[in-house]
Amino acid sequence: MHEVFTGSFTQQEPIPEAGIAAALAVMRHGRLHRYNLAEGEAGEVALLEQEFAAATGAHYCLAVASGGYAMACALRAVGVRPGDRVLSNAFTLAPVPGAIAAVGATPVFVEAAEDLTIDLAHLQTQIARSGAKVLLLSHMRGHICDMRALMDICDAAGVSVVEDCAHTMGAAWDGVATGRWGLVGCFSTQTYKHLNSGEGGLIVSDDSQVMARAVLLSGSYMNYDRHSASPPPELFDGLRLDVPNISGRMDNLRAAILRPQLHGLDERRARWNALYATVEAGLEATPGVTLIRRKPQEGFVGSSFQFLLRDWPAGMVQTVLAGCRARGVELKWFGAAEPSGFTSRYDHWRYAAPVRLPQTDRLLAGLIDMRLPLTFTTGDCALIARILRAELRAARQAG
Ligand SMILES: *Cc1c(COP(=O)(O)O)cnc(C)c1O
According to DSSP, residue 141 is labeled G
Ligand 1 pocket check for 66: Cβ under 6 Å? yes
Tens of pLDDT, residues 42-95: 999 999 999 999 999 999 999 999 999 999 999 999 999 999 999 999 999 999
pLDDT band at residue 399 using 50, 70 and 90 as cut-offs: confident
Tens of pLDDT, residues 164-217: 999 999 999 999 999 999 999 999 999 999 999 999 999 999 999 999 999 999
Mean pLDDT, to the nearest integer, of 17-21? 98
Terminal-to-terminal C-alpha distance of the chain: 23
Tell me what pLDDT residue 341 has.
86
Q: How far is ligand 1, taken at its centre, from the CA of residue 165, in Å?
A: 8
Ligand 1, atom 9: closest residue by C-alpha? 67
Ligand 1, atom 5: closest residue by C-alpha? 67
- 201-205/184-188 β-pairing: antiparallel
Ligand 1 pocket check for 138: Cβ under 6 Å? yes
Ligand 1, atom 11: closest residue by C-alpha? 166
pTM: 0.97
Tens of pLDDT, residues 329-385: 999 999 998 898 888 899 999 999 999 999 999 999 999 999 999 999 999 999 999
Ligand 1 pocket check for 67: Cβ under 6 Å? yes
Ligand 1 pocket check for 92: Cβ under 6 Å? yes
Q: Where does the chain hold its CATH 3.90.1150.10 domain(s)?
A: 265-398
Report the interhelical angle of 252-263 vs 265-283 (nearest 10°). Answer: 60
Using CA atoms, how far apart are residues 11 and 374, in angstroms rounded to an integer? 8
Which distant-in-sequence residues (6+ apart) come within 8 Å of 121 by Cβ? Answer: none
Nearest Cα to Cα of residue 72 among 222, 278, 214 = 214
Using CA atoms, how far apart are residues 99 and 371, in angstroms rounded to an integer? 24
Mean pLDDT, to the nearest integer, of 223-252? 95
| Averaged pLDDT score across all residues of the chain | 97
Q: Where does the chain hold its CATH 3.40.640.10 domain(s)?
A: 17-263
pLDDT at 39 over 80: yes
Q: Residue 322's CB: how many other CB atoms inside 10 A? A: 12
Tens of pLDDT, residues 275-300: 999 999 999 999 999 999 999 999 99
In 129-272, DSSP assigns E strands to 134-138, 160-164, 172-173, 176-177, 184-188, 201-205
* Cβ atoms of 107 and 83 closer than 8 Å: no
Ligand 1 pocket check for 166: Cβ under 6 Å? yes
Return the best residue to mutate from 138, 193, 199, 342 for the ligand 1 pocket (most ligand atoms within 8 A of CB): 193
Tens of pLDDT, residues 326-336: 999 999 999 99
Percentage of residues in the chain with pLDDT exceeding 90?
96
Tell me what pLDDT residue 1 has.
63
In the chain, DSSP assigns E strands to 60-64, 85-89, 106-110, 134-138, 160-164, 172-173, 176-177, 184-188, 201-205, 290-291, 298-299, 304-308, 332-333, 367-371
Tens of pLDDT, residues 106-147: 999 999 999 999 999 999 999 999 999 999 999 999 999 999
Tell me what pLDDT residue 342 has.
85
Pick the atom of ligand 1 nearest to 138's CA.
13
φ/ψ region of 301 (left if φ > 0, alpha if ψ in -120 to 50, else beta) reads beta
Burial class (CB in 10 A: 0-12, 13-18, 19+), 60: buried
According to DSSP, residue 142 is labeled G
3-state secondary structure of 375: coil
- 160-164/106-110 β-pairing: unpaired
- Cα dist. 390→215, 358, 379, 394 in Å? 52, 31, 17, 6
Ligand 1, atom 1: closest residue by C-alpha? 166
Tell me what pLDDT residue 16 has.
97
Mean pLDDT, to the nearest integer, of 10-16? 96
CATH (residue range 17-263): 3.40.640.10
Task: Given CATH 3.90.1150.10, say whether it is the number of domain 265-398.
Answer: yes
Tell me what pLDDT residue 20 has.
98
Tell me what pLDDT residue 363 has.
97
Q: How far is ligand 1, taken at its centre, from the CA of residue 149, in Å?
A: 25
